Amino acid sequence: MNDAPVDLRSQAQQKAAEAAAATPLDKFDVSQPALYQDDTWRPWFARLRAEAPVHYCPESRFGAFWSVTKYKDIMAVDTNHKAFSSDSQLGGITIRDVPMSFRRPSFIAMDPPLHDDQRRAVSPIVAPTNLVHLEKLIRERSAKILDTLPIGEEFNWVEKVSVELTTQMLATLFDFPFEDRHLLTYWSDIATADVLSGKVSSEEERNEILQQCVKYMRTLSAQRANGPPRFDLLSMMARDPSTRDMDDRMFLGNCILLIVGGNDTTRNSISGGLLALNKYPEQYDKLRANHALIDNMVPEIVRWQTPLSHMRRTALEDIELGGKQIKKGDKVVMWYISGNRDEEMIENADDFIIDRARPRQHLSFGFGIHRCVGNRLAEMQLKILWEEILARFPTIKIVGPVKRVFSNFVHGIDEVPVIIPSRI
Amino acid sequence: MPSITYIEHDGTAHTVEVPVGQSVMEGAINNSVPGIDADCGGACACATCHVYVDAAWEHLTGTRSDAEASMISFANGVEANSRLSCQIPVTEQLDGLVVRMPAGQH
């Protein structure tokens, strides 16, 4: 284990296992962001999957909620958009219910029919021809970033690689001024920060900061509403009938969706992949011996990291799930992070295995009509990055404690201290 | 055993035998035919098993369910003869079926 002095980390894991075994099920609360920051979530979900796969938590910082913890049950909810709504006005797709005035519609937090039209407005960004066009750019940038990394000197992989690469990608997808791209990372982090995390202290503060985002994006958008064809997300939204007349709230909602979905998640997969290979050195050996395994490894990284721990729905009707009676209006939380560890669906689910069969059978991108639009773009970024890493560095070693994000939504990593001992 | 021909976007054809009862998708996956991804494993939940059913066979492959229609509407390059291949069960009548794969799945 690399992310803390060995005895401290295994002590924390031991304590968590003991607590999960000793705590009565009706006192379980897996919404606590500390579980994910401390990386002690596993035994809690293992017990829920075994003993209460659909579990009601009557009281938490986020109110009452159902936890759905097994793969098949999560699939059943994710694909049943008629019974389980994503609508922002009912609370949207995260466990926290923000005050009504801050509930921002976006196509992820919307049901059909409008969801369908808006998703189709932006999905051309990942059409096969566009992916081919982006591939070259991604490779050039990955190469450039990797070539400037220090050798034999400690640095934070998250800052120099994960954030830098994904921010550049995001700036391209938005055709956003390159020199201001740090704003995209900033707005993304502000949009998702837990109010107890220190990054933002209230919904009001969050909203105020994000007004800068609306202003900036509106200015760019206004310049692109007409004229010759353009292939960035702002132009797509400015021109499509279903998105060109959005009010500020919905416009901000969709910008945030694309910024977080297109950036934060991939960032954490880039960090998570390195973490996984260091925790499972025999997998790193396997990879070095056979670079063709990259294709299979990439979805396994996305599964193992699970960049978004959960997605939430609101029940539109009384419905039975896993033997439990969910009532209309109830909050239902699909814990992707748990479903991705469900041994009934995935063999040796806790382990990182780069040549496992059916690596794309995981929940990290969701399933159903809201399945991540950018999933193949995310995979492409990871694939290209690892191709370029393997061509340059015999190994990358994690040399200090990993710092994770205080959040029950973004399963994020802020610090991965590494040293690259040498170039090939 | 029914024989299914899968034609990749670049024209490469693969003809394989697929047992009655499996889906057209499973026939591709089990025989390592490239061009059908089937991320969700056949649950009509991802639209990455998108194929174009050859005109001669359309009337024999059935029609899209509501769930399939909903999912396939998000695939790229959807045409009237587009289907999710996980929703087409192989029958004796489909012996000789030809399907074409799109340029990409996502």
CB under 8 Å to A107, separation ≥6 — which residues?
Answer: A114, A115, A118, A119, A122, A254, A257
CATH number at residue B78: 3.10.20.30
- A317: tokens are 């009707």
Q: Mean pLDDT across the stretch A112-134?
A: 92
Tell me the domains of chain A and their CATH numbers: 6-419 (1.10.630.10)
Distance CA B33, CA B18 (A): 12
SS3 assignment for B13-24: EEEEECCECEEH
Percentage of residues in chain A having pLDDT higher than 90:
91
- Give a yes or no: residue B106 inside a domain: no
Task: Tell me if A119 and B74 make a contact (CB, 8 A cut-off).
Answer: yes
Chain segment A131-161, per-residue pLDDT in tens: 998 999 999 999 999 999 999 999 999 999 9
Distance CA A69, CA A50 (A): 9
How confident is the prediction along chain B (106 residues), in pLDDT tens digits per residue?
999 999 999 999 999 999 999 999 999 999 999 999 999 999 999 999 999 999 999 999 999 999 999 999 999 999 999 999 999 999 999 999 999 999 999 8
What total of structural domains would you count in chain B? 1
Q: Work out how many CB contacts closer than 8 A connect A with B.
A: 51
Cα–Cα distance list, A281 to A151, A284, A416 (Å): 21, 5, 16
Chain segment A351-364, per-residue pLDDT in tens: 999 999 999 999 99
Chain segment A381-420, per-residue pLDDT in tens: 999 999 999 999 999 999 999 999 999 999 999 999 999 9
Task: Tell me if B74 and A120 make a contact (CB, 8 A cut-off).
Answer: yes
Contacts with B46 from chain A: Cβ below 8 Å: 367, 371
Residue A113, preceding peptide bond in cis (omega within 30° of 0): yes
- Give a yes or no: residue B35 inside a domain: yes
- Give a yes or no: residue B31 inside a domain: yes
Contacts with B41 from chain A: Cβ below 8 Å: 358, 361
pLDDT of A227 above 90: no
Cβ–Cβ under 8 Å, residues A337 and A350: no
pLDDT of A1 above 60: no
Q: Mean pLDDT across the stretch A342-358?
A: 97
In chain A, positions 110-149, which contact chain B (CB-CB < 8 Å)? 112, 116, 119-120, 123, 126-129, 131
Evaluate if pTM is beyond 0.90.
yes
- Give a yes or no: residue B87 inside a domain: yes
Nearest to A75 among B45, B70, B106 (CB): B45
Backbone angles phi, psi at A305, to 5 degrees: -75, -40
- Give a yes or no: residue B88 inside a domain: yes
Contacts with A375 from chain B: Cβ below 8 Å: 106
Helix (H/G/I), strand (E/B), else coil: A372: coil
Report pLDDT for A6.
59
Residue A278 — very low, low, confident or very high, per pLDDT cuts 50/70/90? very high
Task: Tell me if B70 and A78 make a contact (CB, 8 A cut-off).
Answer: no
Contacts with A129 from chain B: Cβ below 8 Å: 103
Chain segment A242-268, per-residue pLDDT in tens: 999 999 999 999 999 999 998 889 999
Chain segment A19-35, per-residue pLDDT in tens: 999 999 999 999 999 99
Q: Mean pLDDT across the stretch A48-60?
A: 98
pLDDT of A10 above 90: no
Partner B contacted by A375 (CB < 8 A): yes
Task: Tell me if B74 and A358 make a contact (CB, 8 A cut-off).
Answer: no
Task: Tell me if A368 and B39 make a contact (CB, 8 A cut-off).
Answer: no
CA distance B46 to chain A (A): 6
Nearest CA in chain A to B74: A120
By residue range, what is the domain housing residue B12? 3-100
Measured in Å, how far apart are chain A's first and last C-alpha atoms? 26
- Give a yes or no: residue B24 inside a domain: yes
Q: Residue B6 forms beta bridges with which residues?
A: B14, B99
Task: Tell me if B45 and A376 make a contact (CB, 8 A cut-off).
Answer: no
- Give a yes or no: residue B82 inside a domain: yes
Nearest CA in chain B to A115: B74
Report pLDDT for B91.
96
To the nearest whole number, what is the mean pLDDT of chain A?
95
Backbone angles phi, psi at A176, to 5 degrees: -95, 140
- Give a yes or no: residue B105 inside a domain: no
Q: Mean pLDDT across the stretch A336-354?
A: 98
